[in-house]
Structure 1
Amino acid sequence: MPPLSWRQHTLIQALLSRGPLKEKDFHAIFSDVTGKSLDSHQQLFNDYLRKINMELSYVQFELRACRNQYDSGVFYGVVNTVADEQSKLGSKYTVPQIAFYKAIIESIVLDHTAQGTISNIKALNIQLENQGASSSQVPTAFKNFSMTQKEKTIRELVNDQWLCAMSDGDIGLGVRSFLDLRSWFHNNQVPPCDVCNESGIKADLCPNESCSVRIHKYCLQAKFSQQRMEKVCPGCGTQWPYVVMAKAEVVEEEERDVQQPPPPCGPHMRKRQRSSRHVEEGERESNSQPPENGQPSRRQVAVKVDYDDNGFVPSQLPGTKRATRNSARLHR
């Protein structure tokens, strides 16, 4: 096989030097280096990505695309598909910071309401001691991980796009987490979207409490935008209360949901205004009692979270679980 051309090298270098790129920016680079419009040369673009990934596979890297579930934007990035001891040398994060990140991710994906976020206060109150097998085995660094260090870690993870800051101050997954953790979401049984089959981290739930179907907002828009499409749950047939919006309205709403600057942290942060729905959900959660039969409802989907000896982190953080190379393919 002939070596990669300078044009293909340029695409790789752009992602390595700048981090994940929005679809339009990555397409613009392709058009600049090839002199061809993507609209009329889609097959050439696909061939470029296929050849790049064939070469990257020899060093356990992959160029892949993902969709940001908060604003539906598509991003491209290069990720490491294998974790080993040598990978730890390339991380700027400490072991307690990685454990803190892991705990935040776990809290977000275990949320049965599929809001895809965790409050800043809840994140700062995560106890790393709970990450150990027993109190006698908890590393001293975990016990001494202060509130100030947690605030600093959140800011760094947001700046590096492992996490994102929402407009209401909550914390969500960053685009690099969506890129790196796709296989982990699948392997740990995170409920998928019924339309696209990607993990439903941020999704709308079926109105039927006994139905576990969840669908991304942008997938709902695509599914129900057809005039003759009956707006019902594909799982149980319950009427789905969804109003199809114009594309401009969808973009405007999604832009309001996501805020790029890091979130305010610590005890001096301004008290955020929470919607009545969130307050009511919090009250229901705190006041609710377990069912008499001791079984959770189907809405409370159980997620199995496993960690190996290396822990759990994305590709450029130490201890990533080995990802199946073919399990995450480029998609539009």
Structure 2
Amino acid sequence: MSELSWRHQTLIQALLSRGPLKDDEFHSIFTALTGKNSGAHKRLFDEYLLKINKSLSYVQCELRGFRNQYDGQIYYGVVNNISDEQSKLGTKYSVPQIAFFKAIIEAILQDAAAEGSISDIDVLNIRLETQVLTGTGSQSQGGPTQVPPALKNFSISQKQKALDELVRDQWLTRTPDGNIGLGVRSFLDLRSYFRNNDIPPCQVCNEAGVKAELCQNESCTVRVHKYCLKKLFSQRKGERVCPSCGTQWHYVAPKPELIEEENEAEAPTQSQPPSGSKRKRLESSKPGDANAVRTGPSQASRPTSDLRRTTRSTTRSK
């Protein structure tokens, strides 16, 4: 960290203290610190991100960009890449709350329609007994599963309180139709979780298709994010078919200028190379080719990484 200037450190602190920041907010902070527009000085912006990530790697952290699958907006955040028992000690969530969060995530991801959300009623009716891991306690000795009382007695009011807290902390979100979906911290921090649980990826960007459009061919498993459809079909003039099976894709094209803006606001992902394409109106708010920030799982603050890790072993300590 000694190699970083106060400007680099301020960028990191802004992400740690505020949580994930929208693309325009992050770029505004960069401009205020450096006096340079990140679009006009793209190389400088990329160098800042690379230098920050080089230093953060020594403490198993990383600055990363990602796209919110509900609104298509790009965010930046800092996360902790390491997962161990010690890192769980910093979480502010209780074991039942973490089990509740994990159960909500699983319910959303198991939706075959890729709506990316479930209703409030379904959330409150989740039974935490299902979060008891196999191979623990009496199970390993061949006995019946012993459900920890803290999970068994987690009441509706406690669930509602935990839900409100998870939404406030941006782990979950309330969608425009009133359902519960994944928050920006979940998209930032759970990339490895999505991949390890075989969540079907988007055919275009290869990120998990949590909220995505499905191919109309029921035997085809292709998923494409709504914002990725714009990119896909803008590159295929007159051809709007599934990229895998060739089935006609019922797609209403947006206005040409909207497609252009979406293409210029590329989300930084692991698989995308730095964009060298022309930049027009959105140049000042482009997420930068934060391909400079495109590696592994991330975190927006201390509770962020802790919750991610604990979802993987929800009741192990019990």
Structure 1 residues 320 and 99, CA gap change in structure 2 (3 angstroms): closer
Which one-letter code corresponds to 1:122 in the other structure?
Answer: D
Question: Which residue is 1:300 aligned to?
Answer: none
Query: Do the aligned residues in 2 keep the contact of 1:83 with 1:320 (CA within 8 Å)?
Result: no
Rounded Cα–Cα distance in structure 2 between residues aligned with 1:321 and 1:74:
26
In the alignment, structure 1 residue 10 sits paired with structure 2 residue 19? no
Gaps of 5+ in 2: 260-302, 314-318
Structure 2 letter corresponding to 1:94:
S
Partner of 2:181: 172
2:23 aligned residue: 23
**Residue by residue, what CA displacement relative to the aligned partner does 1:265-308 show, whole Å, maximum 9, x if unpaired?**
xxxxxxxxxxxxxxxxxxxxxxxxxxxxxxxxxxxxxxxxxxxx
Report the equivalent of 1:236.
245
How far apart are residue 206 of structure 1 and its match?
0.2
1:215-236 Cα distance to aligned partner (Å, 9 max, x none): 0000001111347240000110
Q: Which residue of 2 aligns with 1:46?
A: 46
User: 2:39, 2:258 → 1: CA distance?
Assistant: 25
| Contact 1:181/1:314 (<8 A) preserved | no
Counterpart of 2:26 in 1: which secondary structure?
helix
1:103 match: 103
Q: Which amino acid aligns with 2:205?
A: C
* Most deviating of 223-232 and 188-197: 223-232
State the 1:60 CA deviation.
Answer: 1.2
- Residue by residue over 1:34-57, the C-alpha shift from the partner in whole angstroms, topping out at 9 and shown as x without a partner, is 111111111111111111111111
Aligned residue for 1:164, secondary structure, equals strand
| Residue of structure 2 equivalent to 1:83 | 83
The Cα of 1:248 is off from its aligned counterpart by 8.1
2:310 to 290, 296, 319: 319
Distance 2:86 2:23 in 1: 31
2:192 aligned partner: 183
Paired residue type of 1:123:
V
TM-score (norm 1): 0.74
1:120-139 residue pairs with structure 2 within 5 A? Answer: 120-132=120-132, 133=134, 136-139=145-148
- Name the structure where helix makes up a greater proportion of residues: 2
Alignment of 1:272-311 (within 5 A): none
Q: Which has the higher relative contact order, 1 or 2, with Cα contacts under 8 A spaced 6 or more apart?
A: 2
Q: For 1:141 and 1:247, how far apart are their aligned partners in 2?
A: 54
Partner deviation per Cα, 1:240-276 (whole Å, 9 max, x = no partner): 01010127889xxxxxxxxxxxxxxxxxxxxxxxxxx
Distance in 1 between the 2:103 and 2:25 partners?
Answer: 32
Runs (5+) with no aligned partner, structure 1: 251-312, 323-332
**Change in CA separation of 1:239 and 1:99 when aligned onto 2, cut-off 3 Å:** same
Q: 1:196 aligns with which of 205, 217, 229?
A: 205
> For this pair of structures, how many residues does the alignment match?
260
Structural RMSD (CA):
2.0
Is the contact made by 1:208 and 1:238 (CA closer than 8 Å) also made in structure 2?
yes
Aligned partner letter, 1:96: P
Kept in 2: contact 1:82–1:321 (CA 8 A): no
